Structure 1
Amino acid sequence: MPSRTAWHALARHPLGFLASQWPWLALAHLLSGVALGAVAGVVLLFLAAAGLVSLAVAVGAVPLLGVALSGVVVARVERRRLRLVDLDPAPDPHRRPGRPGLRGWLETRLREPATWRELGFTAVSLSALWWMDLLVLGFALVLPVFLMTSPAGDPGAWPWLVVGLFLLPAAPYTVTAWAGARAALTRSVLAPRDGEPGAELTEVRASRARLVDAFDAERRRIERDLHDGAQQRLVSVNVMLGMALLDTDPGSPVGRQLSAARGEVALAVDELRELARGVHPKALTDHGLAAAVDNLTARSAVPVTVDVRLPYRLPAAVESTAYFVVAEALTNVTRHSRASRAEVGARPETDLLVLTVGDDGAGGADPAGGTGLVGLADRVAAADGRLRLSSPAGGPTLLHVEIPCR
């Protein structure tokens, strides 16, 4: 299962982690933290100085008010930086009233506990955190290079060269470990508390994810009951009809009726298998998304080229969502596109499953046309994913889906 944070990637794949983009994202996180701290520190010192100098006049309150609200700006930038090492979005706890005007906006912000919590975090960040970012970068990157570039002619320089050679390979781990700790601290401080808008949004996301998981579990239960229950009973009935047919005279009316009954039972078994496969395909549970997509496209009326490369099993909810996206998309291709061929592709990218379904049909797919695209978008959104559709008139049509693998 792919990682959602740099910390998890470091802990779960210590060697493969070096070949991923996580070390570079962690480095960008710390470098941007140093830049943010330096810029914010200069701006806030200027505002504080201007406010104290002009405190005797009315305008002195304006710079001081800017200092009080600086935490809102810094926290917003921190939430954006957090996405470098933590792919889950950090909710904003501030309420957004309609159009209250500047005075109403200021009063709302100053009354919110989140504003003062963010101001405290800004003070800690400026006084300690960005300095620690700078120290970690210096220890991990600058110190090894400095040691390795010691004067070659100095007989006592070779031990420092050895130390530098040992420290430099550890730099990605040092940088990422501190970036993960920094991100965890940022999220814990800036996360919305109970009663704040972001907390409600987080609970809605969690509730939606639980509903999707429960729905998929129920589908698997129905598929299992159909496969192991009703289907097996019909097969047993078909066997008993065959045995009864052996006891009748060939060509007799009873024999013909038994043969017809066996044919109907066989059709019922085939239809039940198709129904069970549509509810939740067994290949998806047993062998994963690639095998299930192969089985699905093999039954498609339109020739389909499959390019699904998944080096590991994805979470069950992700596989289920991706499978039904492909199934519904191919159904739309067959019914509406007038295409001569279609393509299905899937790749894991960082911590996303990127899924594409395209065809060379007439195009012009419109969610308002009742082609199931709204249901597809809802299912992808329930998995916290994103769906994009390109279908100009005349074609071709391309469906691009990104599903987080958490």
Structure 2
Amino acid sequence: MLQINFIRQNADLVKERLSVKNFSDLGLIDKILQADEQLRKLKTETETLQASMNAASKEIGMLMGKGDKAAAEEKKQEVAQHKNTLQQLNEQLVVAEKSLHDEVVKLPNLPSTLVPKGKTPEDNEVVREAGVKPTLPANAVPHWDLIKQYDLVDFETGAKITGSGFPLYKGKGAKLQRALIQYFLDYNTAAGYTEYLPPHMVNEATAYGTGQLPDKEGQMYHVTEDGFYLIPTAEVPVTNIYRDEIVKEEELPIKMTAYTPCFRREAGSFGKDVRGLNRVHQFDKVEVVQLVHPNKSYEVLDEMVTHVEKLLNALELPYRILRLCGGDMSFASALTYDFEVYSAAQERWLECSSVSNFETFQTNRMKIRYKDVNGKTQLVHSLNGSSLALPRIVACLLENNQTEKGIMLPKVLHSYFGADTI
């Protein structure tokens, strides 16, 4: 959530940056400023009245001490009237504060000056491309055929158990999932991230904290009776670990990693882009999250991009890194780099990771703060990245490494999988 003080002092800048994100309702800024002005007037009126009451109360004591009961009684009547007015003002304050808050949370995060202008994924900037695209045999097939050939994933039974888009991994397919998850976690913890195994459902306050609410209600599965949401990513519970806490400056950066299943409704998805493992409603992902000093967040963002890049190099997959344009960024992000791996059988790029800096947008919602050297409380910056999401990684590993003898796995997975070939 944007800070109201910043909006008040930089209204034109806020409008200019939001236009880069193609935010259409720029008139909302003026509406927020008007609501903020009314709220501040109410606060001033309330504080002035409270000060008058305090002064009158002291005066009552002095009058009683002098034995002037009539004057004291008159002052008591005056205080009683002020109390009624103050109660009304406090009620108006509650309504005004909620009204202002409800408008401010509609604003997305401001994009960094590094964010390119654009409206669609075609406007994203390719930062770099690496790895070798494989030359497949003439009889090569896409991963949904390989899955059936090697009996790795049963989509039909998964649909029977739950519904379409809930795959049932089996045999070596399940083993490959487990091998990748363990490798990713080992890689992250070796880089200094502390491992967590968080709850897979969160309450409304947690979903609000990372910006899923009120922006993405339709994308999350909602357990209505309890008011819980199935997590769309481990970022949501893990970042909230430090909600409403003040950490010591010397504790920064705080580095966390977690494996979780992720649940996304993906409403409106259809066509070839959703075939096989390209887009499913439940999938496994390992996430990295950092809480850092504001002066360090863009340096840390570059480090996290390098961290994910090394992981893809170890998996021997061709990949490219994109800097997302304003129109393709998430609601909460200030700057995002997407990683895509090349699917040789499908002859297309598939997104497998996003690494983002949210600056203070999430931490302002969650009130995650630190005390600086002057003892002043400041908001930390939050960042997160996929390291990695499994479905499209698995799809590309299967497709790009298919041979007449089977699926040849990258060397780094041999000890985790227990073999070099499926």
Higher helix share: 1
Q: With the length of structure 1 as denominator, give the TM-score of the two structures.
A: 0.30
Greater C-alpha Rg:
1
Indicate the structure whose relative CO is greater, using CA pairs within 8 Å and at least 6 residues apart: 2
Q: With the length of structure 2 as denominator, give the TM-score of the two structures.
A: 0.29
